[in-house]
Chains A and B, each alone.
Chain A
């Protein structure tokens, strides 16, 4: 069966590029959810809203900026003339790396601002309400937001969607394979940056304060921690990053529409990743995101081979499968692959030194991790 192995061999590269691209996006969004739900104790059941808002804003604003800079006539109706405008923009961008990068950065900036504004709005209920009320509110708000996106045409043309300038076209002409590698590099770099940032945050005094607030709001308040301000900060930052992830997805796909993001993908799957990897553990989330994406891509790869033998659409089986997976994890291993660990505030060598010199301090340093909220 050499041809199949050959085919499989060719597929491996393609498969890995797709896998890693999707992984980077899932990683970024699930890290922000980890910051909110894992560390700060804000269960965000409306994640899709923040990702979609960033993507829609970036997709719409970047194209309009490009049209404005390149002086392309949009007849005052950008979404209406999208099919005339975008090819002109793309043609100009292939010879203009500076403008391409500028538009990419502008789109991400707009997405971050829109995400932050939405996050700020969401922080008002988030700091007041109990977990169950907040979950209901955010889920309902996300549902409403999607209805608006699909109905209000001036932003992204409703359900039809709009095309987005190809900001990666300048690199090696318009070769599809090369473009995907460039996209992967950009997304991977962004994901790495977000990971490092999240690790820095949770190892900082702010990260420990977050856990303290999550575990006992009253106790942390009595120690003078401003839980309202800190929670607001977390939700704004996490939403801004989610928005940027949405913007990158838009530039990668080259189009954006109200149906691009579903509650299943950008709320439910992100939660599956968080629970699978282990809440309040960034390394766990990274591992969870990888296992989940691998599983998802493997199923995608396999499902069309098995489709003839299964009487129903495999996509539906996927829904049921991941739901069962999540409930299974909750039953068997609710803490995820890598459970939460106490953060060591000092390097190990220094800790060892302290341990040798003073036995009493050791007991304090080894204090137990807070109770798990998830």
Chain B
């Protein structure tokens, strides 16, 4: 049996990596922080909950269904709200408040759905439910501990292959880098953006359906994760997909590990400050490293840390330059 905090770290870190990846996809395309993103996660939570309780379908099997539902919600939000507003030339703040409105509307929809579940199937816990029992264990550890990191790995690899190897992926990168130029060469930028939002909503809902295998879910289950998701995305630089995966891993791991150390050293009262860790990381990132972890110039840090080595390198470079110019 592995220690609880190790499995906690693995699940938490992988799921936040997955969620941050999706948020970054939406930010890259529309340049609006999507406050409704947490609700896409909640869609996954409720898909897993309802299908497990009604049909006894394992969340692993319902994750693809969650992906589809999340994708539908995400795409309709993009087409139905954000695209209309941005075509009308709305400001960034107007778009942000619109995404907040969508989040509130989603909370209303989840409320109605949970009321329906309570009245139709008598699930009295449908507003706030305990984790769903895992359907398999491997070496004495719950299946999600393996499935979550493997899913993150597969998704990251798939996104990497998509962006580098496929025509659609190249078109996506072009549309993000320079939309007008992409249009000039005949890329349908709108369709590319819709595809990015589709993936984002799908990943969010998928991670939501995995999330409830490990931790409790509920109406505001996804919205409450917004602190961690934004922190992860900001730490990754908001503009880098791989950075956001890294950010999610760091946020998830540090939240679990720092809390574990603090609980051991200081006592149980620190438990409520758990969400302070991603918040502090976010504040520090924004104030110190606004472009995120991927913007760190490792070469320069290395040069600063080992100046003698660097100066030797420089001397070598200058002597080489002199040699090539023919001086001796």
Contact = CB atoms under 8 A, between A and B. Distances in A.
B286 A133 contact: yes
B97 A330 contact: yes
A350 B196 CA distance: 58
Where chain A touches its partner, the secondary structure class is: helix
B231 interface: yes
Contacts of B104: 264, 268, 319, 322-323
A20 interface: no
Contacts of A141: 279
B94 interface: yes
Interface stretch (B45-53, B105-113, B151-159, B319-327): B105-113
B234 interface: yes
A275 interface: yes
Contact of B227 (A143, A316, A318): A143
A84 B298 CA distance: 62
Interface stretch (B68-76, B81-89, B176-184, B255-263): B81-89
B96 A125 contact: no
Given A275-B97, A317-B108, A327-B81, A132 B92 contact: yes
B33 A136 contact: yes
A317 B105 CA distance: 8
B112 A316 contact: yes
Given A324-B105, A330-B98, A144 B111 contact: no
Contacts of A334: 88, 90, 94
A129 B290 CA distance: 9
A326 B282 contact: no
Interface stretch (A91-99, A145-153, A168-176): A145-153
B96 A137 contact: no
Contact of B100 (A151, A268, A324, A373): A268
B293 interface: no
Interface string A257-292: 000000010011001100100000000000000000
Contacts of B287: 124-125, 128
A365 interface: no
Contact-residue bracket for chain A: 35 or more
Contact of A37 (B93, B111, B119, B275): B93
Contacts of B230: 136, 139-140
Given A37-B93, A313-B111, A133 B234 contact: yes
B91 A135 contact: no
A2 interface: no
A194 to B, nearest CB: 23
A242 to B, nearest CB: 18
Contact of A319 (B94, B105, B282): B105
Contact-residue bracket for chain B: 35 or more
B227 A140 contact: yes
B97 A271 contact: yes
Given A132-B32, A320-B108, A327 B98 contact: yes
B91 A327 contact: no
A316 B109 contact: yes
A45 B100 contact: yes
Given A131-B96, A132-B96, A148-B272, A140 B101 contact: no
A312 interface: yes
A315 interface: yes
A372 interface: yes
B282 A140 contact: yes
A137 B230 CA distance: 8
A372 B89 CA distance: 11
B276 interface: yes
B112 A144 contact: no
A316 B32 contact: no
Contacts of A137: 282-283, 286
Given A125-B286, A331-B88, A374 B94 contact: yes
Contacts of A320: 105, 108-109
Nearest to B108: A319
Contacts of A132: 31-33, 92, 96
Interface string B263-293: 0000000011101101100110011001000
B251 to A, nearest CB: 12
A43 interface: yes
A152 B31 CA distance: 36
Contact of A43 (B93, B224, B290): B93
Contacts of B231: 140
Nearest to A269: B104
Nearest to B228: A140
Contacts of B174: none
Interface string B165-190: 00000000000000000000000000
Contacts of A275: 94, 97
Contacts of B224: 143
Contact of A139 (B85, B226, B272, B278): B226
B108 A143 contact: no
A129 B286 contact: yes
Given A313-B112, A316-B115, A319-B108, A131 B98 contact: no
3 nearest A-B residue pairs (beta carbon): A151-B272, A319-B108, A323-B105
Given A133-B238, A151-B271, A327-B101, 20 more contacts: A37-B93, A125-B286, A132-B32, A136-B230, A137-B282, A137-B283, A140-B282, A143-B275, A148-B273, A267-B100, A271-B97, A312-B116, A313-B115, A318-B108, A319-B111, A320-B108, A322-B101, A323-B102, A327-B102, A330-B85
17 contacts: A129-B290, A131-B92, A131-B93, A132-B32, A135-B35, A137-B282, A139-B35, A139-B226, A141-B279, A144-B275, A316-B108, A322-B104, A323-B105, A323-B108, A324-B105, A327-B85, A327-B102
